[in-house]
Amino acid sequence: MAINEKRLAEVFVQLCETDSPSFKEAEVADLIKNIFSELYPDAFYEDDSASTTGSDSGNLIFRFNGSNPGAEPVFFNAHMDTVTPGMGVKVKRQDRIFSSVGDTVLGGDDKSGIAILIEAMRAIKEDNLTHGPVEFVFTTCEENGLLGAKAFDHKSLRAKMGFALDMDVTDQIITKAPAANRFIAEFKGLSAHAGLNPEQGINSIQLAAKAMADLKIGRLDAESTSNIGVIHGGAATNIVPELTRVEGEVRSHSEEKLARYTQTIEEAFHQAVDTWTDPTGHATGKPSLKFSVSREYPAMKLHNNSAVIKRVEKAASNLGRNITHIATGGGSDANIFNGYGLETTIIGTGMQKVHTTEEYIDLADMVRTTELIKSILTTA
């Protein structure tokens, strides 16, 4: 039986029009639970990750034993949260194209993945097809540091390989993604009245600007990037700013390059502080710097002969399709799952222009991916 396009579209719209910004996923989690309860009332549980992430929902896990319990278990992943502006989404449909009315994101990232998985299981049940054990992991706070996946107890999964539905182009899979370091630099100067005695102050914003001025930001090489994304500093225009906080990241497919580029930024920041000289001779102290680095997520690199790649390629071949392998510069829950030792590749759903109010998706692409998921589940 063919995929029920009408039902897939209806569920997708319902998901998109249910608010679920990061940390506020409870409403869409309840919707997903209600949909699955009609099909598999005993398949669901919610973990206790909310106590770690700060979300109003835990991660949702659905476990289906299947009619072939001896088959190799697999899991599928999608995230429930969306980026801003994502409140009050109203979906506009023109023929087979879905978008928002224009003042919010659509939320196809990643509600297309959730809708596809729901429809795949419905189609398998209706067709009474044989499939092995499968688990669905719907995470919270992916868009805010992959927090749900990080707080997930991966040892609770039976499956050791999985598929994350969280990219754009269909008939492609991501097999390589970079590791990322996040850095925070806190420049401390000296406050003073900017009009009465500015000579006694040390301007931390100026220090930070000097530190960043000559840094190479953006594309560093073919497999590495860096960015400074957040700056906070100062209290008022009439106060020499004492504190400035700079936040950024470095990504690379190479651990050696990741460490080297991160160190280059740290050294540049320290140099700006260490070489500071008092232009007036009236400052009552010296500036200082606090620099910290944390690992946002590990790299993922899957070999062509890995079990998860063979599984998706065989499923695609059964549909008469070819799957191409690509590398990405982004990070996702799949990085975290691979870091747990669970081989996980990323599959496209057709979402386009994500994280913008111009986001859209073609129903034909969602149907195509649903067919692939159905084939993966029913391919021995």
Catalytic site positions: 81, 142
Q: Indicate whether 69 pLDDT > 90.
A: no
122-157 pLDDT, tens digit per residue, is 999 999 999 999 999 999 999 999 999 999 999 999
Q: Tell which residue, 204, 249, 207, 209, has the closest CA to residue 229.
A: 249
Quick one: pLDDT at residue 7? 97
Q: Distances from the Cα of 179 to the Cαs of 76, 82, 249, 250, 258, in angstroms?
A: 22, 22, 10, 8, 8
Q: What is the pLDDT of residue 43?
A: 87
Q: What is the pLDDT of residues 232-255, one digit of tens each?
A: 999 999 999 999 999 999 999 999
| Best CATH choice for the domain 5-177+299-378 from the list 3.90.1150.10, 3.40.630.10, 3.30.70.100, 3.40.50.2300 | 3.40.630.10
Average pLDDT estimate for 346-372: 98
Average pLDDT over residues 173-199: 97
Model confidence at 39, pLDDT cuts 50, 70, 90, reads confident
Distance of CA 11 to the CA centre of its chain: 22
Mean pLDDT of 165-179: 96
- Residue 349 near residue 154, CB atoms below 8 Å: no
**What's the rounded mean pLDDT across residues 84-113?**
97
CATH placement of domain 179-297: 3.30.70.360
User: Rounded to the nearest 5 degrees, what angle is found at the Cα of 332, between the Cα atoms of 322 and 47?
Assistant: 115
Mean pLDDT, rounded, of the chain:
96
Instruction: Between 365 and 214, name the one with better pLDDT.
Output: 365
With pLDDT > 90 as the criterion, what percentage of the chain qualifies?
A: 93
Inform me whether the pLDDT recorded for 290 exceeds 90: yes
List, by residue range, all CATH 3.40.630.10 domains of the chain: 5-177+299-378
pTM for this entry: 0.93
What was the pLDDT predicted at 44? 87
Secondary structure of residue 293 in the 3-state scheme: strand
Distances (CA, A) of 216 to 212, 268, 340: 9, 11, 33
Kindly report, residue by residue over 317-356, the tens digit of the pLDDT.
999 999 999 999 999 999 999 999 999 999 999 999 999 9
Over residues 266-271, the mean pLDDT reads 97
| Residue range(s) occupied by CATH 3.30.70.360 in the chain | 179-297
| Beta pairing partners, 295 | 181
Please tell me the predicted confidence (pLDDT) of residue 279: 85
Q: Looking at the predicted structure, is the pLDDT value of residue 1 above 70?
A: no
In this prediction, residues 301-311 reach a mean pLDDT of 96
Report the C-alpha gap between 105 and 31 in whole angstroms.
20
CA distance 337 to 160: 10
pLDDT exceeds cutoff 80 at 97: yes
Mean pLDDT is lowest, of 33-47, 94-108, 116-130, for 33-47
Give CA–CA dist 16/105, Å, rounded. Answer: 9
pLDDT tier, 42 (very low <50, low <70, confident <90, very high otherwise): confident
**Is the separation of the CB atoms in 245 and 228 below 8 Å?**
no
